Structure 1
């Protein structure tokens, strides 16, 4: 499938990133808005807030994990004021509406359900809510809203939150796409991963060495402990096992976490044929 460049227009209403930001795509009737929780009443009289839309409340969960709540509203500002009173975890909201009268109650209900589905599939944020009801729409209406949904996904990422983007989607290098890399040693470590635009993904069920060597950096020790605390690593037999896909900031960090010692990712990660990652990156 061919992909095409997109022009995104971001407008900082008060000239800083601490206020309201609008996001638009060329030739699209929709609009995205990001605003801090404490600024909602200040900007609530603007036209964008007075229309139907779908919104994402963004903050931190009880364990300091990224958390979000996805909802819809016939008048966005009214629902956001309710959420200020009812939900305390969030500190900013991103919402999407239409510059014309394209969106209605049925369409925002459909978008709410689909965004919830995408967020759960991506698994990046904690989504603690019931599954929203999906509206019954015609095939043509659904096709139009799926295009609207694709724009929401792009703009949400552009506004700093990849809540709807699966880790696999960040594997874009033509040289190494669809290529798996392995990090193994004689003690039984067995991780599978791939470079991505965010660093290096290690895939679910990979096995990490438990016993940490003195050469392991303190920062990686802390990251491993955090993964244990959050249930991302669990003890299975004589190893830690990864319970979900996890992205490290570099291949070396991923290798060190796997081997529990200082390690060079470009040398440790190899294809099934034994080709080092370093050879494919150069």
Structure 2
């Protein structure tokens, strides 16, 4: 297998504010993404691309739980104006179009159906969409174009703070990837976390830059910490998505799952704020993740040419 190619992404903060309207485009891709807070929806819908055919995401919360809606339209501004009256829970919108209004009705229906199916399969955020639409009939060539469009879109969306399509569950080990001759392949490292009072044992591996808690690892059934943090929400999200399942008074990981850091993994396992760099121990040596990482950095510096 060949190494994945890098991609260039351009973000433009329309009014110079990091929390305001934002556009995202990728080199050699016709797609255009506009993210806007609801407080600026009037200005967003006045932009030319808002009247194009496209798809849109509405993001927010309802009764304290995250919620999203995925829709399409030949004039997405008209659809969002309708939602502005009928839906009061959303706080931001993502408008996805193509340069020169090149998407047609069949294209956007296809993209809507694919995004809804993708969101439901990942399960990171509940959808208000009650029905998953079927795929419209497209020619083989048009299907190929829309799949390529979707592949780029799923790279762009996390850059505008939409992570509901990131698949972190790992149902099977990744196949080995041949590293370029100039890059040293990292050996897989395995770690263990034992919370003896709670009777929990979890295992994780560091591979390809991902900290992956393995299938079969144990975690607290409920969040026990006094602070309701992003990790508490992640704990609830993994239970809701079926990544963690209840078993004998605790949770078991039904799938391996890639966390963004050892501390995120540790917090979900023990059900409270946790310092993952000291909670996780290297399985072979017993040293903490922090000391194991420090030894790697020291070894790498020792091999650098003077």
For normalisation by structure 2, the TM-score amounts to 0.72
C-alpha distance in 2 between matches for 1:221 and 1:47: 39
The correspondence of residues 212-223 of structure 1 with structure 2, limited to 5 A, is: 219=227
Equivalence for 1:239: 250
Q: In the TM superposition, what is the alpha-carbon distance from 1:31 to its structure 2 partner?
A: 0.7
Equivalence for 2:70: 70
Equivalence for 2:54: 53
Q: In the TM superposition, what is the alpha-carbon distance from 1:122 to its structure 2 partner?
A: 2.6
Equivalence for 1:84: 84
Equivalence for 1:175: 186
C-alpha distance in 2 between matches for 1:223 and 1:147: 33
Relative to structure 1, the CA distance from residue 84 to residue 211 in structure 2 (aligned partners, 3 Å threshold; closer, same or farther) is closer
Q: In the TM superposition, what is the alpha-carbon distance from 1:241 to its structure 2 partner?
A: 3.7
C-alpha distance in 2 between matches for 1:124 and 1:224: 14
- Show CA shifts across 1:101-150 (max 9, x none): 42000000100111112222332212232212311112211111111101
Equivalence for 1:191: 202
The correspondence of residues 1-282 of structure 1 with structure 2, limited to 5 A, is: 1-62=2-63, 64-129=64-129, 130-168=131-169, 175=186, 181-184=191-194, 188-195=199-206, 200-202=211-213, 205-208=216-219, 219=227, 227=235, 231=239, 236-242=247-253, 250-252=261-263, 254-255=265-266, 258=269, 265=277, 268-270=280-282, 277=289, 279=292, 282=296
C-alpha distance in 1 between matches for 2:103 and 2:233: 46
C-alpha distance in 2 between matches for 1:58 and 1:217: 27
Q: In the TM superposition, what is the alpha-carbon distance from 1:99 to its structure 2 partner?
A: 1.1
Paired residue total: 275
Relative to structure 1, the CA distance from residue 181 to residue 12 in structure 2 (aligned partners, 3 Å threshold; closer, same or farther) is same
Relative to structure 1, the CA distance from residue 29 to residue 40 in structure 2 (aligned partners, 3 Å threshold; closer, same or farther) is same
Q: In the TM superposition, what is the alpha-carbon distance from 1:158 to its structure 2 partner?
A: 0.7
Unaligned runs of 5+ residues in structure 2 are 178-183, 297-306
Relative to structure 1, the CA distance from residue 227 to residue 101 in structure 2 (aligned partners, 3 Å threshold; closer, same or farther) is closer
C-alpha distance in 2 between matches for 1:238 and 1:257: 15
What SS is found at the alignment partner of 1:11? strand
Q: In the TM superposition, what is the alpha-carbon distance from 1:37 to its structure 2 partner?
A: 1.6
CA contact (8 A) 1:195 1:251 kept: no
What SS is found at the alignment partner of 1:68? strand
Relative to structure 1, the CA distance from residue 203 to residue 84 in structure 2 (aligned partners, 3 Å threshold; closer, same or farther) is farther
Instruction: Report the aligned-residue RMSD.
Output: 4.0
Greater alpha carbon shift after TM alignment, 185-194 vs 74-83: 185-194
Q: In the TM superposition, what is the alpha-carbon distance from 1:203 to its structure 2 partner?
A: 5.1
For normalisation by structure 1, the TM-score amounts to 0.77
Relative to structure 1, the CA distance from residue 15 to residue 89 in structure 2 (aligned partners, 3 Å threshold; closer, same or farther) is same
What SS is found at the alignment partner of 2:10? strand
- Show CA shifts across 1:68-99 (max 9, x none): 11111110100000111122221111121111
C-alpha distance in 2 between matches for 1:119 and 1:194: 26
